[in-house]
A and B are shown apart, each in its own frame.
Chain A
Amino acid sequence: MVPVQCYFVLSALLFFIGVYGFISRRNLIAMLISVELILNAVEINFAAFNRLLFPGQLEGFFMSLFGIGVAAAETAVAIAIIINVYRNFNSDNVDSIQNMKR
């Protein structure tokens, strides 16, 4: 039986690896990948806390499930925006985008 602290430390580490990536990378897709890492860390927390602290309930389970769905939708829209940005600015770097419209 794995204690709940292990899950917590693992997800905190994953979360802050994602935060580090979000700050240090300047490529739009790399930043989006870091956001995915952060979302996964949060979903591990929801599932582990639900299972180990309140095994009779299913709140954290459904929070994780809906989080997965929302993350998929967010990725689709964000990638559409990135492709459009690349088409307009010929760059996928954040620093080159100063205005919303050229």
Chain B
Amino acid sequence: MVMFCILAVVILGSAVLCVTTKRIMRAATFLLFVLFGVAGLYFLLDYTFLGAAQISVYAGGVTMLYVFAIQLVGKRSLQGLIERMKGSRVCYGALLSLVGLVTVVAVLLKSQFICAAAQVADVEVPMQQIGYALVGAGKYQYVLPFEVISVFLLACIIGGLAIARKEEK
């Protein structure tokens, strides 16, 4: 419980700073802290493999992409392009998020299925079980999504290259 509270404070504090800071580079750095906090939550849930995937894919890959994009996109952005925040849009966004938050939390805390929470044993989900489920072809096994996502990643690589390529004039 103590660990959960620490992680929650890190995640929420970094997320708030991430959306309110005016400099894009700082927003990317705070995003990195949020991602590490979420990986910590996965470790807390005994999903070690998921936490490792989160750290390697998000913190290692996606954040690097953001940093490179910020460097490439603007000299001004890098030096802290002071983004103008319109007051009306901030009010509108805050109002909409508050209304949505209250609605969602009220609905889910009232619902009954959440009471069925089981007391799980504090053991790590074994890697062998995950591996069998990931590449098995039977019921509750996931070889088809696994293959689909590999083709999808290839398509995204080719698409990204085709879009970002300089056009010859």
Task: Identify the A interface with B (CB < 8 A).
Answer: 1-10, 12-27, 29-30, 32-34, 36-37, 40, 43-44, 47-48, 51-55, 57-59, 61-62, 64-66, 68-77, 79-84, 86-87, 92
Q: What's the minimum C-beta distance from A26 to chain B, rounded to whole angstroms?
A: 7
Contact across chains for B53 and A68 when beta carbons are under 8 A apart: yes
In chain B, what residue has the closest Cβ to A75?
B62
Distance in angstroms between the alpha carbons of A96 and B134 in the assembled complex: 45
Listed from nearest, the 10 A-B pairs whose CB atoms lie closest are A21-B19, A23-B93, A73-B156, A80-B164, A16-B97, A24-B93, A80-B160, A20-B97, A80-B163, A16-B101
In chain A, what residue has the closest Cβ to B114?
A4
Given known contacts A61-B125, A72-B57, is B74 in contact with A12 (CB within 8 Å)? no
Distance in angstroms between the alpha carbons of A17 and B74 in the assembled complex: 26
In chain A, what residue has the closest Cβ to B163?
A80
Contacts of B104-158 to chain A: CB distance below 8 A: 104-105, 108-109, 113-114, 116-121, 125, 129-130, 133-134, 140, 142, 145, 149, 152-153, 156-157
Contact across chains for B31 and A33 when beta carbons are under 8 A apart: yes
Distance in angstroms between the alpha carbons of A55 and B15 in the assembled complex: 29
- Chain B interface residue count, Cβ-Cβ cutoff 8 angstroms: 83
Q: Which residues of A are found within 8 Å of B15, using beta-carbon distances?
A: 13-14, 17-18, 37
Q: Which residues of A are found within 8 Å of B120, using beta-carbon distances?
A: 51-52, 55
Contact across chains for A13 and B69 when beta carbons are under 8 A apart: no
Instruction: Give the total number of A-B pairs whose CB atoms are below 8 A apart.
Output: 221
Distance in angstroms between the alpha carbons of A99 and B54 in the assembled complex: 36
Q: Which residues of A are found within 8 Å of B90, using beta-carbon distances?
A: 24
> Can you show 27 pairs from A to B with CB atoms below 8 A apart?
A1-B119, A2-B1, A2-B4, A4-B117, A8-B108, A8-B114, A10-B12, A14-B12, A16-B97, A16-B98, A16-B100, A20-B94, A21-B19, A27-B24, A43-B38, A44-B38, A53-B117, A58-B140, A64-B50, A73-B153, A75-B66, A77-B156, A77-B163, A79-B66, A79-B68, A80-B159, A86-B73
Task: Identify the B interface with A (CB < 8 A).
Answer: 1, 4, 8, 11-12, 15-16, 18-19, 24, 27-28, 31, 34-35, 38, 41-42, 44-47, 49-50, 53-54, 57-58, 61-62, 65-66, 68-70, 72-74, 77, 81, 83, 85, 89-90, 92-94, 96-98, 100-101, 104-105, 108-109, 113-114, 116-121, 125, 129-130, 133-134, 140, 142, 145, 149, 152-153, 156-157, 159-161, 163-164, 166
Given known contacts A73-B153, A81-B163, is B133 in contact with A26 (CB within 8 Å)? no
